[in-house]
């Protein structure tokens, strides 16, 4: 899954694709580099990011989505808002990637009213406060239980299990120790039988382990992606698509798996 942030304040690319033309060029780049999925988002969820109105979020993402759905790639919209979900599904998006796990009022119903896939991500707190003092007694157990409850809520609304992927939410209300434990034991989430998505690319945990600034986290991010797939992830969300695809092709050749 290649990242396309249509935001002026993304932590990972400094707003390089805030302009829709740049974002559309970025869609073409991630397809060219081998991404199977393109994830298009108009809200930055980094701690302290400025709030964006629904109208502004729609203005940012819709032109990019309308381009992407005509290209040979699975298109995911990275959003939590029901109005954005509805607009994106109307024009043919294939997947909703929600770091709030469809927690906003109306979000479950918006996905249920469509046929699209959804990724449910764990977050403790909200983007504004999630890194203040994250606490768990059993991070893996609590994340797994939260995701199971969200999958059940989707099921009650009529969203078939086959449409759902889950994600431990690396960096979303977690310390470095929590993130490392979740990556080490990703197999616990994979054992649910649901596809697991892992988003580790360029994140603070990669910086904390390597001592590298955000623009220097390629090797660390690729290593983390490989480990995630070895432990059961079947989608990895990445900024550096070409390097990540190469690494996963090597892994697939050795392990006999399939990186897509
Ligand atoms: C949008 N976004 C940023 N980080 C993410 C992550 O780790 N997982 C998912 N599913 N989406 C993310």
Distance 49 CA to ligand 1 centre (A): 15
**pLDDT of 149 strictly over 50:** yes
How large is the average pLDDT for residues 201-229? 97
Higher-pLDDT residue of 132, 207 = 207
With bands split at pLDDT 50, 70 and 90, how would you rate the model's confidence at 45? Answer: confident
With bands split at pLDDT 50, 70 and 90, how would you rate the model's confidence at 259? Answer: very low
Q: C-alpha 210: how far from its chain's center?
A: 22
Residue 115 buriedness (CB in 10 A; 0-12 / 13-18 / 19+): exposed
How large is the average pLDDT for residues 193-211? 98
Strands 74-78, 95-98: parallel, antiparallel or unpaired by DSSP?
parallel
Tokens of 122: 């764990």
Count CA within 13 A, CB hemisphere, residue 139.
Answer: 23
Print the domain residue range for 153: 2-256
What would the pLDDT profile of 94-123 be if each residue is shown by its tens digit? 999 999 999 999 999 999 999 999 999 999
Q: Please report, for the domain that includes residue 141, its CATH number.
A: 3.20.20.20
With the most atoms of ligand 1 within 8 angstroms of its CB, the residue from 199, 235, 238 to mutate is 199
* CA-proximal residue: ligand 1, atom 4 (nearest): 199
| Ligand 1 binding residues, C-beta < 6 A | 41, 45, 78, 97, 99, 119, 121, 167, 169-170, 197, 199, 237
Which ligand 1 atom sits closest to the C-alpha of 169?
7
Distance 169 CA to ligand 1 centre (A): 6
Q: What percent of the chain has pLDDT over 90?
A: 85
Total domain count for the chain? 1
What would the pLDDT profile of 151-168 be if each residue is shown by its tens digit? 999 999 999 999 999 999
Tokens of 70: 């005509």
Nearest in space to 130 (alpha carbons), one of 198, 48, 41, 12: 48
Which are the catalytic amino acids? 203, 237
pTM, entire model: 0.95
Q: Torsion angle of alpha carbons 134, 139, 144, 149, nearest 10°?
A: -40
As a whole number of angstroms, the distance between CA 54 and CA 56 comes to 5
Distance 192 CA to ligand 1 centre (A): 20
Which ligand 1 atom sits closest to the C-alpha of 119?
10
As a whole number of angstroms, the distance between CA 205 and CA 210 comes to 9
**pLDDT of 9 strictly over 80:** no
């Amino acid at each position: 899954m290649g990242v396309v942030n249509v935001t002026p304040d993304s932590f990972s690319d400094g707003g390089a694709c805030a302009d829709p033309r740049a974002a559309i060029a970025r869609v073409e780049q991630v397809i060219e580099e081998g991404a199977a999925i393109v994830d298009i988002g108009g809200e930055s969820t980094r701690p302290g990011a400025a709030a964006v109105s629904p109208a502004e979020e729609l203005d940012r993402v819709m032109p990019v989505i309308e381009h992407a759905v005509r290209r040979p790639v699975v298109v995911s919209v990275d959003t939590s808002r029901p109005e954005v979900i509805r607009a994106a599904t109307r024009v043919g998006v294939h997947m909703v990637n929600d770091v709030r796990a469809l927690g906003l009022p109306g979000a479950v119903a918006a996905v249920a009213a469509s046929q699209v896939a959804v990724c449910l991500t764990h977050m403790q707190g909200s983007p504004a406060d999630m890194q203040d003092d994250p606490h768990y007694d059993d991070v893996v157990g609590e994340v797994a239980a939260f995701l199971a409850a969200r999958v059940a809520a989707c099921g009650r609304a009529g969203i078939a299990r086959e449409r759902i992927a889950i994600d431990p939410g690396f960096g979303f209300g977690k310390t470095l120790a929590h993130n490392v434990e979740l990556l080490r034991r990703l197999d616990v989430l994979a054992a649910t039988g649901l596809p697991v998505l892992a988003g580790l690319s360029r994140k603070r945990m990669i910086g904390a382990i390597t001592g590298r600034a955000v623009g220097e986290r390629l090797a660390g991010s690729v290593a983390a992606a490989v480990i995630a797939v070895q432990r059961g992830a079947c989608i990895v969300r990445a900024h550096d698509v070409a390097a990540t695809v190469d690494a996963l092709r090597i892994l697939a050749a050795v392990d006999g798996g399939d990186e897509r």
